[in-house]
Amino acid sequence: SAVISQKPSRDICQRGTSLTIQCQVDSQVTMMFWYRQQPGQSLTLIATANQGSEATYESGFVIDKFPISRPNLTFSTLTVSNMSPEDSSIYLCSVDWGGGDTEAFFGQGTRLTVV
Amino acid sequence: GESVGLHLPTLSVQEGDNSIINCAYSNSASDYFIWYKQESGKGPQFIIDIRSNMDKRQGQRVTVLLNKTVKHLSLQIAATQPGDSAVYFCAENINDYKLSFGAGTTVTVRA
């Protein structure tokens, strides 16, 4: 399996500011995803990060709030914009190599607290 | 120990006993399922997967059972150890490699 690194691992941010989270993979991957995990809850898919084109967002998530970049096959960023305390969550990057099995692997997550 | 129902949030099990974690999934068209383990402060870690053309798959100390008739998935952990304490999530493949996660079960192993 590849190594998936997320930066920062945690942050405390002021409301109204924005935070950009980076996800770096040590090998090329087909698919990259961003998930949100609110405190004590399960994972919810935010969007699929598409290489060379706009991300595909799930219902309830919009580009203005969560802009995503994916400039190449090993790197993606998620920005949480104009933050409020409700955005306090763990944000997780996930990758999949495609092929027959969807065995998604996850980074360690970014724990965000908005005050 | 065994979790029952749609999503019993916690399961306490004696060290050395077998654990059974249950999960109900929603989409009858799902064809691929994964169990993940998430320890505190870490991302989910892949445990075992199963395709819809199977009803059982075994790994090291873990077994996944799939009952498509009632859309039910279970994870059995043999001889539970303290290191098995974590939150366990089932996930189903909905389409295009996207996963939908269940609510999660917190497993606590008693010494």
Tokens matching residue B78: 């043999």
Contact (CB<8Å) A104/B34 = yes
- Give the pLDDT mean for A18-43: 93
Asked if residue A23 lies in contact with residue B77, where contact means CB atoms within 8 angstroms, the answer is no
Residue B80, min C-alpha distance to chain A (Å): 23
Tokens matching residue B106: 């917190």
Per-residue buried b or exposed e for B22-33, using 16+ beta carbons within 10 Å of the residue's own CB: bbebeeeebebb
Contacts with B32 from chain A: Cβ below 8 Å: 101-102
Contacts of residue B60, defined as CB under 8 A and 6 or more positions apart, other chains included, come to none
Encode pLDDT of A81-92 as tens digits: 999 999 999 999
- By CB atoms closer than 10 A (0-12, 13-18, 19+), residue A25 is buried
Encode pLDDT of B13-31 as tens digits: 999 999 999 999 988 888 8
> How far is A89 from B66, CA to CA, in rounded Å?
31
Which of A43, A96, A101 has the CB atom closest to B101's CB atom? A43
- Residue B97 confidence (pLDDT): 73
Contacts with A44 from chain B: Cβ below 8 Å: 101
- Residue B5 confidence (pLDDT): 41
Count CA atoms within 13 Å of residue B74 on its CB side. Answer: 19
> How far is B58 from B109, CA to CA, in rounded Å?
22
Mean pLDDT of chain A: 92
Please check whether residue B1 touches A, CB under 8 A: no
- Residue A26 confidence (pLDDT): 92
Eight-class DSSP state of A58: P
Contact (CB<8Å) A104/B99 = yes
Please check whether residue B33 touches A, CB under 8 A: no
Asked if residue A66 lies in contact with residue A47, where contact means CB atoms within 8 angstroms, the answer is yes
Contact (CB<8Å) A41/B45 = no
Please check whether residue A2 touches B, CB under 8 A: no
CA torsion angle for A18, A24, A30, A34 (degrees, to 10)? Answer: -30
Please check whether residue B93 touches A, CB under 8 A: yes
Q: Answer whether residue A101 shows pLDDT above 70.
A: no
Per-residue buried b or exposed e for A83-108, using 16+ beta carbons within 10 Å of the residue's own CB: beeebbbbbbbbbbbeeeebebbbbe
